[in-house]
Amino acid sequence: KESVDKLRATLGKLAESEVALEKLLVVVAMEEADQGAPERFETLQREFGHSFLAMIGTRHPGDIPGEVRGKSSNEAWAAREAKRLFCDEMGFELDHMTVTSCDADTLFHPRYFSALTYYFAVSPRRYRLFWQGPIFYYNNVWDVPAPLRIQNSLGGINHLAKLMRKYTVLFPQSTYSLSMRMCYDVGYWDVDVVPEDWHMFLKCFFQLNGEPDVQPILLPVGNDGVRALSYKRTFWEHYQQARRHAWGCTDIPYAIKQFFRHPEIPFITRLRRTYSLTENHVLWSSQWFLITGVAANMSAGGWGGFIGLHPFAQHNIPTWFITASHYILLPCMIPLVMMIVLDMMMRPARPKRWKVWLYPVQFVQWMLMAPITLFFTALPALDAQVRLALGRRLEYKVTEKA
């Protein structure tokens, strides 16, 4: 349901790729329920059809039994259609193709697909790899409310940091690439799930003997931050998006079930992947309360009753524990300051329309990091996990990005 202008920006950036005309086969995956999609696609095809090797549009039916509406089922339909058109009818070789999953607001670096082509060509494990670029929410960084700029900045820099760690267990996120061969061999994306990126990786991991892994492509990938037509609506849309992302906790039981179904995969390999998945989701909803919340409670002299701490826990904390916590948490200021400086260096230049007197706000906003991360990180994750525990469903909803 994205506007022509939004898609025009994405396709325009794709057209700047070094290999756009020689190698890019663009698939615009639409939903049949979106009545205006065919007209928008025709407009875009007239503008950009000559910029790529080929450009097609697919329409995913919304009434297929057993499917859940969302990105995963739409991608599965689009991938099958692409295989039929490009491989079966046009004669492209399946083993020589990669598939890149991206959102409608994704802006690729002009050399991303050149780098992807290189890594695919030289890697002996090309059919067992996902490729991932660091995602930064800088496309509209000067247009989103100040509190959400913190979320966007932390998210992008943390993603880059994870990709740089040599021994980190990585999962693909949002915008990623894989070989068409691997995609075809596992039966494409599952159609009955909401979170698709980590789930697709887990599906490949367990079906292909634990061999798939993630290889970084260290070129920036741009995405929009959430922005609606009002501040109130923007905050609510961001909360819903964070909750939908946290709904990936549904992959934990899936991974545990597959863990026991695939004894042929080395035990340590299965354990590392399943543990990392579980750790990510458990800490997502709990680390604010374990670190920030407890530290603030102790510093404030015990407002823990507000968040439901037992009176015994509030008034029987030994002095040495408070002192030790202070000296343990204090060094965390060093990487935080480094992240702020790095964010200032990497984000786009301030547009002229942005008032100069608002410039100091971007520094003051970091002082509000504790409540901001509570409302836009910890609580959405806790919401999603409680919903899952109570057996409630979460429907896929397209995030508004005005």
Flag whether 99 is in a domain: yes
Total domains in the fold of the chain = 1
Q: What is the 3-state secondary structure (H, E, C) of 368-395?
A: HHHHHHHHHHHHHHHHHHHHHHCCCCCC
Residue 82 lies in a domain: yes
The separation between CA 145 and the C-alpha centre of its own chain, rounded to angstroms, equals 20
- CA-CA distance, 252 to 282, in Å (whole number)? 10
Q: Would 285 be classed as within a structural domain? A: no
Supply the pLDDT for residue 318.
67
- Domain presence at residue 136: yes
Residue 369 placed within a domain? no
Query: In which domain, by residue range, is 12 found?
Result: 4-234
According to DSSP H, which parts of 49-145 are helical?
71-82, 112-122
Q: What per-residue confidence (pLDDT) applies to 315?
A: 54
Query: How much is the pLDDT for 90?
Result: 94
The domain that contains 98 carries what CATH number?
3.90.550.10
- On whether residue 333 sits in a domain, the answer given is no
Quick check: is 363 in a domain? no
In a domain, 342, yes or no: no
Q: Which residues of the chain have pLDDT under 70?
A: 293-318, 321-322, 401-402
Residue 152 backbone phi and psi in degrees, to 5: -65, -40
pLDDT tens digits along 179-223: 999 999 999 999 999 889 999 999 999 999 999 999 999 999 999
pLDDT, position 309: 47
Q: What is the DSSP string of 146-164?
A: HHHHHHHHHHHHHHHHHHH
Residue range 113-141, pLDDT digits in tens: 999 999 999 999 999 999 999 999 999 98
